[in-house]
Amino acid sequence: MKKVLAGIGILSLMILGACGQGESAEDDMKTVGALQFVEHESLDDSYKGFVRGLKEEGFIDGETVKIDYHNAQGSQDNLKSISEKLVKSDPDLLLGVTTVAGQSLLTATTDIPIVVTCVTDLKEAKLVNSYDKPGGNVTGTTNMSPVAKQIKLLLSIVPDAKKVGIMYNSGEINSKIQADLAIDALKKAGVEPVVRTVTSTNDVQQVSQTVADEVDGIYLPTDNTFASAKTLVGDVMKEKKVPLVAGAINDVKEAGIATIGINYEELGAQTGRMAAKILRGEATPADMPVEESENLEFYVNKEMCEALGIDPATIKNPEE
């Protein structure tokens, strides 16, 4: 009987020991809090790429890292409350997808490492001191579009253009930065920019129709409001027969004719690889330079070409 009891005691200790090891392994698992401002294809692709980038570096969600993902659904109030919740959980790293998400996280903590993506100008947004040496707890990737190249592409499609429209949400700093660059590029080319802004998706269709009636072509920077309503924009372009070049490839797939743009999933993966270095303790945001996209793609929307009566074979990358 004593042998039986001893055996039971040893088995119990083994089970408890195994449980303790499991708890220890879970406690040792790195944690990442992720905050995305709004849902649309480019941002979704960026987050998807981020998870893949981490995985490529050995941080597999649910196995070697735990990612707590939240989407603010375009609400500033949600940004604040989610940021505070994520910081309270004390993760090893935070991810902000878009400028406002990164700013919200930085407001909530200056201690926890933060990486951001889909931010046009990290310095202008006061997320970093400089691109080479961020200096604080934030670093990441910029999605600054090659605006001058995109304007050059648009003018190669409509070489006789006298006026080109620019549409964006006046409340999005990312969009204004790109719009200003587009205005400069158009003026240098001797083309008059026609600028119209919106404050919400409710304005998108009417502004698109108004601008399309005034111009020979349209430039659309990477803009969360227009990206969320890009199907409406595409319908207007088809109706009005106006070629549009957008900053993001995903926007062109629905609303535009062509672009030289960023692959957002690859940009996200690039951000994930940066995050992995921080999680491994190989780098800190303060000393990790902000990175630009490693990949630009030339994309032509053949369906839009057909709707506008333009032969897609005539659209060439002016940079080649």
Q: Tell me the whole-structure pTM to 2 decimals.
A: 0.83
Q: What is the CA radius of gyration of the chain?
A: 24
Residue 7 lies in a domain: no
Residue 14 lies in a domain: no
Same domain, 243 and 152: yes
Write the single-letter amino acid at 287.
Answer: D
User: Of 1-15, 156-170, 244-258, 304-318, which gets the smallest average pLDDT?
Assistant: 1-15
Same domain, 85 and 66: yes
Same domain, 64 and 187: no
pLDDT, averaged across the chain:
92
Q: How confident is the model at residue 217 (pLDDT cuts 50, 70, 90)?
A: very high
Decide if pLDDT at 157 tops 60: yes
Same domain, 151 and 189: yes
CA 112 – CA 94 distance, rounded (Å): 7
Q: How confident is the model at residue 21 (pLDDT cuts 50, 70, 90)?
A: very low
Same domain, 66 and 166: no
Same domain, 66 and 213: no
Same domain, 191 and 274: no
Range of the structural domain that residue 103 is part of: 30-143+264-294
Q: pLDDT tens across 260-280, in order?
A: 998 999 999 999 999 999 999
Supply the pLDDT for residue 254. 94
Same domain, 130 and 165: no
Go through 111-133 and write b for each residue having 16 or more CB atoms within 10 A of its CB, e for each that does not: ebbbbbbbbbbbeebebbeeeee
Residue 109 lies in a domain: yes
Separation in Å, CA 252 to CA 40, 91, 179, 239, 249: 13, 36, 17, 16, 5
Supply the pLDDT for residue 28. 77
pLDDT mean over 93-98: 98
CATH number for the domain that contains residue 206: 3.40.50.2300
Residue 17 lies in a domain: no
Supply the pLDDT for residue 205. 97
Residue 20 lies in a domain: no
Same domain, 203 and 77: no
Same domain, 308 and 175: yes
Tell me how many domains the chain contains.
2
Q: How confident is the model at residue 91 (pLDDT cuts 50, 70, 90)?
A: very high
Supply the pLDDT for residue 6. 46
Residue 52 lies in a domain: yes
Decide if pLDDT at 250 tops 60: yes
Decide if pLDDT at 131 tops 80: yes
pLDDT mean over 191-219: 97
Residue 81 lies in a domain: yes
Same domain, 166 and 231: yes
Same domain, 214 and 277: no
Residue 11 lies in a domain: no
Decide if pLDDT at 16 tops 80: no
> How far out from the chain centre does Cα 193 lie?
26
